[in-house]
């Protein structure tokens, strides 16, 4: 019965909460709002820059939180624990795209903040894979490393990769790469290398080897390839769902290491995203590293929902004047049989039922 009533999102949350607690993560609850300055100081970390603000009674400018990670990292500042492991289920308020309508978005995720070692990074990646698997059906996780982007930019003699080039890489736009690189002063060789890296086929090993071969002088590229290789090997059987994809890029101001994004079949957008954000943690003085991810169960509403053919199993149609206790007895009797029932003295307009029971 509870199985039938609880939504797919609820079942997913319960199974994920159990999974995270098994790995020592504890539930973190937070307020719905934060001081606006937390977000205005870290705009690039946010998925959307549109924020709902309001004035507090003491004159401070507050905001309905558009993000959870910032609040957790801020909360971790000055903690005595070496590593803090938390999971959450929270609503965030943001727009899908600039200028769009605000939406309340449910988010489930976890964060591991503090002095992270190699195991902590692997654990977060493993749990991200398990979280995606818990949604059900086929799934795939794209994985990349921000160090590779940094290394490539340095190889091209730049401090950071120009935005236009990043846009080209993100959209796997190989045909415009030469023109865009040229307009950014990067030359034809840089464009050719990026094209070859993005079009490298085969398995993960081939793609990592391509990164090493194309940027042999870059210690950052070599180290990124090595770290990805070690993590994938450590994931064992689970690594099959992970695919190295260098077109995956997050904001380098915050993300610095492994980043990933999860997809499930029959859903058009990424439903999970996360990665290593040491730069953000250091900025807040909350330790030396952070890693985490978020899953968006609201996005999966349609995926879980399916098509509901009936509003209830039975319409209990009673005549006016029927003693209420008789109606209640019939409805509770049907409920005891595991059927849903809608009692009314008339046929409700626009509703559909499997059967009608007249009393």
Partner 1 sequence: MLNVALPKGRLGEKVYNMLHRAGYSCEELLKDTRKLVFTDEKSGVSYFWVKPTDVTVYVEHGVADIGVAGKDILTESGADVYELLDLNVGRCRMCVASVNDFREDASRPLRVATKFPHVAERYFSSKNRDIEVIKLYGSIELAPILGLSAVIVDIVETGTTLKENDMSVLEEIFPISARLIANKARYKFKRDEIDACVERLKKELPDDKNL
Binding residues vs partner 1 (CB under 8 A)? 97, 138, 140, 142, 171-173, 175-176, 201, 243, 247, 263-265, 267-270
91 versus 247: smaller Cβ distance to partner 1? 247
Distance CA 126, CA 120 (A): 10
Query: Please, what is the minimum distance in Å from the beta carbon of residue 201 to partner 1?
Result: 8
Instruction: Round to whole Å and give the CA distance between 105 and 67.
Output: 10
Residue placing its CB nearer to partner 1 in the complex, 156 or 242: 242
Tokens for 207? 């793609």
Least Å distance, CB 203 to partner 1, is 12
Q: Which residues contact 316 (CB under 8 A, 6 or more apart)?
A: 327, 330, 331, 334, 341, 342, 343, 344, 357, 359
* Cα separation, 184 vs 191, whole angstroms: 11
Pick the closer one to partner 1 by CB: 52 or 270.
270
Distance of alpha carbon 340 from alpha carbon 285, whole angstroms: 54
Minimum gap (Å) between residue 247 Cβ and partner 1: 8
CB 318 within 8 A of CB 346: no
CA distance 163 to 249: 11
Alpha-carbon span 119 to 116, nearest angstrom = 8
What's the token pair of residue 242? 């992970």
Pick 96 or 229: Cβ nearer partner 1: 96
Choose between 61 and 179: whose C-beta lies nearer to partner 1: 179
**Minimum CB–partner distance for residue 181 and partner 1 (Å):** 15
State the number of CA atoms in the 13 A half-sphere of 170 facing the CB. Answer: 12
Q: How far is the CB of 152 from partner 1 (least distance, A)?
A: 20
DSSP-assigned letters across all residues of 119-166: HHHHHHHHHHHHHHHHH-S-EEEEEEEHHHHHHHHHHTT-SS--HHHH
State the DSSP code for 56: -
CB of 251 to partner 1, least distance (A): 15
Shorter beta-carbon distance to partner 1: residue 90 or 142: 142
Q: Which CB sits closer to partner 1, 77 or 269?
A: 269
CB of 89 to partner 1, least distance (A): 24
112 sits in which H/E element: strand 102-114
Backbone angles phi, psi at 341, to 5 degrees: -140, 145
Q: How far is the CB of 171 from partner 1 (least distance, A)?
A: 4
* Nearest residue (CB) to partner 1, 25 versus 293: 293
């Amino acid at each position: 019965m509870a199985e039938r009533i609880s939504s797919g999102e609820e079942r997913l949350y319960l199974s994920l909460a159990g999974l995270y607690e098994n790995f020592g993560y504890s539930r973190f609850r937070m307020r719905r709002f934060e001081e606006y300055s937390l977000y205005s100081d870290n705009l690039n970390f946010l998925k959307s820059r549109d924020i709902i603000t309001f004035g507090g009674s003491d004159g401070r400018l507050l905001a309905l939180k558009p993000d959870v990670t910032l609040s957790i990292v801020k909360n971790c500042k000055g903690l005595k624990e070496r590593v803090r492991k938390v999971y959450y289920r929270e609503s965030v308020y943001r727009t899908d795209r600039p200028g769009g309508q605000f939406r309340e978005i449910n988010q489930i995720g976890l964060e591991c903040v503090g002095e992270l070692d190699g195991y902590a990074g692997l654990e977060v990646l493993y749990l991200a894979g398990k979280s995606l698997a818990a949604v059900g059906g086929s799934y795939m996780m794209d994985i990349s490393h921000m160090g590779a982007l940094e290394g490539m930019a340095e190889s091209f003699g730049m401090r950071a990769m120009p935005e236009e080039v990043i846009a080209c890489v993100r959209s796997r736009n190989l045909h415009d790469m030469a023109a865009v690189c040229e307009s950014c002063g990067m030359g034809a060789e840089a464009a050719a290398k990026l094209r070859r890296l993005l079009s490298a086929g085969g398995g993960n090993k081939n793609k990592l080897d391509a990164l090493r071969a194309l940027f042999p002088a870059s210690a950052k590229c070599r180290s990124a390839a090595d770290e990805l290789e070690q993590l994938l090997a450590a994931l064992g059987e689970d690594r099959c769902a992970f695919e190295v994809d260098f077109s995956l890029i997050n904001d380098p101001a915050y993300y610095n290491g492994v980043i990933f994004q999860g997809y499930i079949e029959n859903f058009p957008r990424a439903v999970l995203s996360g990665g290593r954000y040491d730069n953000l943690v250091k900025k807040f003085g909350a330790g030396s590293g952070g890693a985490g991810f978020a899953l968006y169960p609201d996005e999966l509403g349609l995926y879980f929902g399916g098509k509901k053919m009936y509003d209830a199993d039975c319409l209990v149609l009673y005549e006016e004047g029927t003693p209420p206790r008789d109606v209640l007895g019939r409805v509770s009797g049907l409920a005891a049989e595991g059927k849903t029932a809608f009692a009314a003295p008339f046929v409700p307009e626009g509703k559909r039922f499997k059967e009608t029971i007249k009393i």
